[in-house]
Structure 1
């Protein structure tokens, strides 16, 4: 009976055009495919990234729209030796504006974190970045000290998604989801001081240089949507003025 069942399963797999012993690819192969899908070397080792678009922020208690940033911008200067998944690295600045009004602004120059209100104390800054930094570690994940583990696949945004846990050299884990058909990264998740953080990536576009960018990013904490960003402009490896990251004086 057991051999008959095995034969039946093999016949079913053949009818579906699949090998009888089809297996999911390993985590390294899944990640390598994603790197190629997103643009290869240009995506793997960028020096700078500038994004602009708009964002909507939601009230956690009521679900209503709390604010809209019609002008939402982010600049990144990357650290090629990044080894920590959820600590600040490189340099970053984010500005959210509604009309001429600044909703919030935050920057990091490689040492100091600052906002539109001034310098942020280090302990507070470390917690802030731990709530937000996580995606970039995928670019170092094939390097020494990182480990990859496959997790069970699942549907995300209605599409079959392969999941890989990436652990940095300190053991901090980040869960990445890769669309089975395209190889694109469509999901990210990790524990933060604020709660369990998830991101959903959609609406991918390929730039002339080969870089593939998700134009829609939704952020959730403990399953509740926090904000959605719609990127309309992307610039890769263009020079950035160091003054962008300099803390305000006074």
Structure 2
């Protein structure tokens, strides 16, 4: 084997000196960067902070939640990118006033007004769920495809398209230097949904959390979330996810 003008020449023919990483390489590096096994199987996740919500045209803030919280019980066998999985509850409050509340107990979706009909619930989750599927992306039945790299927020990002067993695609952008997930995008009932992640912090257990999350639909900012507290793997009272009593 010899080195000639930027390529390695071997018995089997020329081989590029610097082979680009495969989609699987990029995802595996991202998993390791975010904490490895503790990030893949956290069991539960509780996040709290604040959020600003914008008018539909994105021109001005519509409301601000100074108390914004999310509780999650993960489904380790998740295979659907944009459907309700595991258990979840999200509460947005301004002072003592509830701006909105939504939950899913594993069977029923509800909000501050009561039980949500299934068709409406499915459309809601299809427009909001998407990040967690990356934890299943290396499993059987999933397809990983490369997409052209780009720059996001001044950072070089490697893009990987994750296709779940049902054929639903989600685009993930991994920071080329750190491996952190900085970008997510997928088609939803509300339009082309994108998320921008920034301000990463590493917990004592190795978990890496993006404290800043910006959500967009069809290129317009919908809301910006700022997480200030992260708890991983701690017990969550099942009553948190229960629908309100009629």
What TM-score results when the alignment is normalised by the length of structure 1? 0.92
How many residues are matched? 236
The residue number in structure 1 matching 2:142 is 146
1:61 deviates by 2.5
| Aligned partner (choices 185, 195, 199) of residue 195 of structure 2 | 199
Higher helix share: 1
1:21 deviates by 3.4
1:60 deviates by 1.9
1:245 equivalent in alignment to 2:241: yes
SS at match of 2:27: helix
CA distance in 2, matches of 1:104, 1:133: 17
| Aligned partner (choices 37, 58, 69) of residue 41 of structure 1 | 37
- TM-aligned CA distance change 1:168 to 1:25, over 3 Å: same
- TM-aligned CA distance change 1:160 to 1:94, over 3 Å: same
**Structure 2: 5+ residue runs without aligned partners?**
8-14
CA distance in 2, matches of 1:227, 1:62: 9
CA distance in 2, matches of 1:97, 1:115: 13
1:20 deviates by 6.8
What TM-score results when the alignment is normalised by the length of structure 2? 0.94
| Aligned partner (choices 114, 124, 129) of residue 125 of structure 2 | 129
| Aligned partner (choices 65, 69, 80) of residue 65 of structure 2 | 69
Higher strand share: 2
- TM-aligned CA distance change 1:62 to 1:211, over 3 Å: closer
1:160 equivalent in alignment to 2:153: no
SS at match of 1:131: helix
What's the Cα RMSD here?
1.4
The residue number in structure 2 matching 1:22 is 18
CA distance in 2, matches of 1:195, 1:62: 14
CA distance in 1, matches of 2:141, 2:57: 41
SS at match of 1:170: coil
